[in-house]
Copies of this chain bind each other. A is one copy, B any other.
């Protein structure tokens, strides 16, 4: 048996699976205080003889293998969670290997091994929801440098007619500051899911997402791009985003991918809202002492 946690800002989803990755039990625990949430997770897993655990977590997070603080949440604005070690509670309770990565890296791994990335060597997984983040999986490994990527904060061109001040406390009108769920709510007064398909904000949101994808493509040249999170449930946006990406690239890449309408290139996660949890099971498989 292996265990997985998708550790999010509002809930921790825990699952136990057999060696064939079939989930045999799962539970959802609200993200309150670490001293409350983490013991509840331990309690759930204590009913099973899990041999390894994978955690896909919100960040920023120390994901550098040989670091002294590997598995620790870093400078998060989430109250009470800064400097919280996600590994020790489980290592102490079960004496098992635990592997931690970002939620998007975990989801990207899930799509790489058992989703739209299967058979490909490079996968970009993006979530656009409360925050915007992405993970790039290359040959089965999430890309990391001095840290995990923070791709949601790239600078893009705000349209001249758009006077919205943005919602990112660091960069105002970076991608996240313009297209995250809270940014849309701040701009429109209601949540994206309550706006009509023809609302003018979607013209801006698809433009900004297409700009970001264009830059990700030019830099990472991924073989497939998967968009999860709240916005990906707005399926009417996908064809518009695909078209705008082609317009921005303007025929620059002479590759068969771009001789299509990108309908197999920019896609919804195969496992939908389960992408992160399934990916965390793949992290568990790779956990070593």
CA distance A201 to B121 in the complex (A): 41
Chain A: residues with Cβ within 8 Å of the partner, total of 43
A122: B residues at CB distance < 8 A: 144-146
Copies of this protein in the assembly total 2
Contact (Cβ within 8 A) B155 A75:
no
CB–CB A155/B214 < 8 A: yes
Interface set, chain A 215-247, CB cutoff 8 A to B: 215-216, 218-223
Per-position contact with B for A112-138: 1 when CB-CB < 8 Å, else 0?
Answer: 000000000110000000000000101
Tell me, yes or no, whether A195 is within 8 Å of chain B by CB: no
Q: Is A261 an interface residue (CB 8 A)?
A: no
Nearest chain B CB to A205 CB, angstrom units: 16
Residue interface mask A151-164, B partner, CB < 8 A = 1: 10111111000000
Which chain B residues border A255 with CB–CB below 8 Å?
Answer: 146-147
B221 near A220 with CB under 8 A, answer no
Is the contact region of chain A dominated by helix, strand, or loop, or is it mixed?
loop
How many angstroms between the C-alpha atoms of A155 and B171 in the bound complex?
17
Q: Are B220 and A149 in contact (CB under 8 A)?
A: yes
B-side contacts of A52, CB under 8 Å = none
Q: A219 contacts which of B220, B252, B254, B257 (Cβ < 8 Å)?
A: B220
A250 with B143: CB separation less than 8 A: no
* Chain B contacts for A250, CB-based, 8 A: 170-171
Contact A143 B150 (CB under 8 A): no
A75 to B259, CA, bound (A): 15
**A48 at interface by CB-CB < 8 Å:** no
Interface presence of A60 (CB below 8 A): yes
Partner of A254, one of B74, B148, B154: B74
Chain B residues with CB below 8 A from A218, complex form: 149-151, 153-154
Could you mark each residue 251-277 of chain A with 1 if its beta carbon is under 8 Å from any beta carbon of chain B, else 0?
111110100000000000000000000
Q: Is the CB of A145 within 8 A of B75?
A: no
Q: Within 8 Å of chain B (Cβ to Cβ): is A206?
A: no
28 A-B residue pairs with Cβ-Cβ distance under 8 Å, sorted by A, are A122-B146, A138-B138, A138-B143, A143-B221, A144-B221, A146-B257, A147-B221, A147-B253, A149-B218, A149-B219, A149-B220, A149-B221, A150-B221, A151-B218, A151-B219, A153-B218, A154-B215, A154-B218, A155-B157, A155-B211, A155-B214, A156-B157, A157-B157, A170-B251, A170-B252, A171-B250, A171-B252, A219-B220
**What residues make up the interface of A, taking CB atoms closer than 8 Å to B?**
60, 74-75, 121-122, 136, 138, 143-151, 153-158, 170-171, 211, 214-216, 218-223, 248-255, 257
